[in-house]
Structures are given as structure tokens and as C-alpha cells.
């Protein structure tokens, strides 16, 4: 449902503002959720990469 449809359906501007606010809130929540997801995925990737490089380093040190 588009905002234009909402304005056509409901004549009261208060309702339109409320719905627009809810849409904005939802978009904000998803944006924050996506940002957190990206940050955590990046952290996990860095951590895994760190483990891999550390393992390699340990093996090269242990090699005679």
C-alpha cells in the first residue's frame, strides 16, 4: 500500500501522519537491524580470518 493510496483512502491527515510515522519507524528498525547484522558478520569474518592467519603463523614458526 502506497502513501498516495493511504491519503486517498483516509481523509483525516492525523491518520496519514500516524501511518507514515509507523512506516518510518519500521524502516528505521530494519535499517538498524541490517547495520548490526553487517557489523556482526564483519566481526565474525575478521575473527575467522584472524584465526586462519594465526594458525598459519604458528605453523610457520613451528616448522624447523
CA distance 27 to 15: 18
**Model pLDDT, residue 48:** 81
**Model pLDDT, residue 10:** 55
The tens digit of pLDDT for each residue in 35-63 reads 999 999 888 888 888 777 776 666 666 66
The tens digit of pLDDT for each residue in 12-42 reads 666 677 778 888 888 888 889 999 999 998 8
Short-list 29, 6, 4, 5, CA closest to 19: 6
Q: Are 7 and 16 in contact (CB under 8 A)?
A: yes
What is the DSSP secondary-structure string of 29-58? HHHHHHHHHHHHHHHHHHHHHHHHHHHHHH
**Model pLDDT, residue 6:** 53
Amino acid at each position: 500500500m502506497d502513501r498516495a493510496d493511504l491519503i486517498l483512502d483516509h481523509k483525516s491527515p492525523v491518520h496519514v501522519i500516524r501511518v507514515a510515522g509507523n512506516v518510518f519507524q519500521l524502516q528505521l528498525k530494519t535499517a538498524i537491524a541490517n547495520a548490526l547484522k553487517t557489523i556482526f558478520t564483519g566481526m565474525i569474518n575478521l575473527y575467522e580470518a584472524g584465526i586462519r592467519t594465526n594458525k598459519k603463523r604458528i605453523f610457520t614458526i613451528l616448522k624447523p
